[in-house]
A = this chain, B = another copy of it.
Amino acid sequence: MKRIAVMTSGGDSAGMNAAVRAVVRGACAQGLEVLGIREGFMGLVHEHFFPMDANSVGGILHRGGTELRTFRYPDFAKPECRQPLREAFLAQGIDGLVVIGGDGSFRGAHCIDTEWNVPTVGIPATIDNDIEGTDFSIGFDTALNIAVDCVDKIRDTATSHGRIFCIEVMGRASGMLAITTGLCCGAEEVLIPEHPFDINEICTRIDAGYDRGKKHAILIIAEGAASASEIATGMRLILDREIRVAVLGHIQRGGEPTAFDRILASRLGIAAVQQLLGGKRDVMVGLIGGEIFATPLVKESPSVRVILGEYVKLQQILH
């Protein structure tokens, strides 16, 4: 192995730069050449390849977003879109590829590995923390801390006015970001796609809380469960209280990565290079129980996440 390439793909998340840095410096330390690819798979279309060395990644460890830029490019999943890009890619003399992104990006990476025969390793990076094969994806801890900070602020105003707040957090089809935000903020209710909820029961519990002397009610709503404004509309039919809506939105994606995400990204970046050098391919590196493991890049039957169930129980005891 002489030359590897690295890209970030899909939605951006804090810590992607730290991962790129670790891949590049880890590869350079082993005497490999490194090419950067700009804008994910879209970079293949425009042949945005450029050489990187240890200095190229100076001063980016703590930066939010991704200096390599990224792109959502679902068409790469279509063979007819993918095929025309093959020749230019192979012409770069790339012996290994590291793709930093989420599930969708890994499906594209899997095609490059299996169809184009370029050994490929994935690094999980998404604020949704919904990737099988790692306890944490890069960017989740940062997004969680941002969401928690926002809810802490909103609670000030909720308490001052005695209001109910319906706060929508990201997470796509996963409730992980919502349930952890709820736990961290002592939310009264958390609505996640993995568990059914009944708006009448919620309203009954909230009313009971006010009767016991609570000064506010905070509902954390996973975007995969419902929209905050839908929930608020439904609650207004039942409760005669002031209800406000907040959608945290894209601020959850950005910002400087937390310490946790910087370390996770550093470990996974180095590990990805080691996998390639060790002859492993078509795998994703992930953190399981504090240690790093390689699992297939594309999983057939994603298992249920045990930890989410534990968090739900904690929330029920502690709220």
Contacts and interface: CB of A to CB of B under 8 A. Distances in A.
Contacts of A165: 250
Given A61-B185, A254-B156, A266 B146 contact: no
Contact of A25 (B71, B72, B144, B318): B318
Contacts of A270: 314, 317-318
Nearest to A311: B263
Contacts of A311: 263
A62 B185 contact: yes
Given A70-B161, A266-B318, A64 B153 contact: yes
Interface in A102-145: 135, 141, 144-145
B250 A157 contact: yes
Contact of A244 (B66, B141, B180, B250): B250
A281 interface: no
A26 interface: yes
Interface string A200-223: 000000000000110100000000
A248 B153 CA distance: 12
A63 B156 contact: yes
Given A152-B256, A259-B145, A317-B270, A160 B65 contact: yes
Interface centre among A39, A144, A250 (most CB of B within 10 A): A250
Contacts of A153: 64, 146, 250-251, 253-255
A266 B156 contact: no
B259 A144 contact: yes
B65 A262 contact: no
A53 to B, nearest CB: 11
A150 interface: yes
Nearest to A136: B290
A162 B69 contact: yes
Interface string A13-42: 010100001100110010000000001000
A240 B25 CA distance: 29
A260 interface: yes
A226 to B, nearest CB: 18
Contacts of A146: 153
B184 A263 contact: yes
A317 B244 CA distance: 38
Contact of A255 (B12, B61, B156, B160): B156
Given A25-B318, A69-B162, A184-B262, 19 more contacts: A21-B186, A22-B318, A25-B317, A29-B317, A61-B186, A63-B156, A64-B156, A148-B259, A153-B250, A153-B251, A156-B254, A156-B255, A183-B263, A246-B250, A258-B258, A263-B311, A266-B314, A289-B289, A290-B290
The 3 closest A-B pairs by CB, nearest first: A289-B289, A153-B254, A65-B156
Interface of A: 8, 12, 14, 16, 21-22, 25-26, 29, 39, 55, 58, 61-66, 69-72, 135, 141, 144-146, 148, 150, 152-157, 159-162, 165, 180-181, 183-186, 212-213, 215, 244-251, 253-256, 258-260, 262-263, 266-267, 270, 288-291, 307, 310-311, 314, 317-318
